[in-house]
């Protein structure tokens, strides 16, 4: 595959995001699309109240334009676009309700679940129509097994887990933008190694889009991506893992996202069963804030951990 296509995809989406930022951020501010800060969160975050959110629209537009321009319009192309924009749409509705109706929780859990399930089923139908392999391969080995029809419920689980764990990670300035850029960087290499052209172009376009967004989202953030961005990123990374047949490798490359989700599960389970909290606050990035780490220190350490997970993941395919 021509590496120039990958580089152009990264460069184009990065440039688009950087150009879109100064257009959308003032607009979001004028529309009073400001972040509602939860009072039960870290007190240091209260000063972020009113910072424009729904900045995920910058990521999604930059991604979409670059991806459409440089990718071939194959069935894989439509799966990737549906997964990312579909989950991004669910996030958009969640953000819109939070902001316009001043409801800090946005969509109800049942409504968000329905939206994610709907687009997961659509992706499953698209995979079935393109005769996508239902085999699962263990990373780093030649061992695999065919799940048959049971593969499709697994796809739904992967998309749910990926989108929600990525969503949990979006809690500090630049945290998700940086960790997702690293994860998609690893998946670009994975896609190139597995000759998955569209997945490589999509991952490259996502790298540029989130890095361009990071220009405005780095501490102190001028804009937040909101659920539109985090769910869109999560849906996209799940689709890439599925199409490159590295479903299990997603657990490694997305290690930071897995840790964030596990911290929430452990915290909730411990509190409900024993009445005790394991962490000062979950997701776990807030725990480190509350033990005295600066926001920037938490973010940079998590970026480094993400790099480590990505490097380990790449080792399984090269």
Positions at the binding site = 167, 227
Which residues face 136 on adjacent strands? 145
Q: Take residue 137 and report the two structure tokens written for it.
A: 């391969």
Give 221's DSSP letter.
P
262 Cβ contact list (under 8 Å, min separation 6): none
Classified as helix, coil or strand, 136 is: strand
Binding residues for Mg(2+): 167, 227
User: What are phi and psi for residue 108, nearest 5 degrees?
Assistant: -70, 160
Nearest to 165 by CA among 237, 102, 215: 237
User: Crossing angle, helix 295-315 and helix 175-193, to 10 degrees?
Assistant: 10
Structure tokens of 177? Answer: 């933008």
* Residue from 82, 68, 71 nearest 125 by CA: 82
């Amino acid at each position: 595959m021509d590496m120039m296509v990958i580089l152009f995809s990264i460069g184009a989406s990065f440039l688009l995001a950087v150009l879109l930022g100064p257009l959308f951020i003032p607009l979001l501010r004028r529309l009073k699309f400001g972040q509602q800060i939860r009072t039960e969160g870290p007190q240091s975050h209260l000063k972020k109240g009113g910072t424009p959110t729904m900045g995920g629209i910058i990521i999604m537009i930059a991604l979409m334009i670059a991806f459409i321009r440089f990718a071939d319009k194959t069935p894989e192309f439509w799966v990737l676009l549906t997964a990312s924009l579909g989950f991004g749409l669910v996030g958009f509705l969640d953000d819109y309700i939070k902001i316009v109706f001043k409801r800090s929780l946005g969509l109800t859990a049942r409504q968000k679940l329905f939206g994610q399930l709907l687009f997961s089923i659509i992706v499953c139908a698209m995979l079935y129509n393109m005769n996508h392999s239902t085999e699962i391969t263990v990373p780093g080995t030649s061992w695999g097994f065919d799940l048959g029809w049971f593969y499709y419920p697994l796809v739904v689980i992967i998309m749910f887990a990926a989108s929600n764990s990525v969503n949990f990670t979006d809690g500090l300035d630049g945290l998700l933008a940086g960790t997702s850029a690293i994860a998609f960087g690893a998946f670009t290499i994975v896609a190139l190694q597995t000759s998955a052209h569209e997945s490589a172009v999509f991952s490259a376009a996502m790298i540029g889009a989130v890095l361009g967004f990071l220009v405005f989202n780095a501490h102190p953030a001028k804009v937040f991506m909101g659920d539109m961005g985090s769910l869109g990123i999560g849906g996209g990374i799940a689709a890439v893992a599925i199409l490159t047949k590295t479903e299990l490798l997603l657990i490694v490359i997305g290690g930071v996202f897995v840790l964030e989700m596990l911290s929430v599960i452990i915290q909730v389970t411990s509190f409900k069963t024993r009445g005790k909290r394991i962490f000062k606050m979950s997701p776990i990035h807030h725990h480190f804030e509350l033990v005295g780490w600066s926001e920037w220190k938490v973010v940079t350490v998590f970026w480094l951990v993400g790099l480590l997970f990505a490097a380990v993941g790449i080792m399984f395919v090269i």
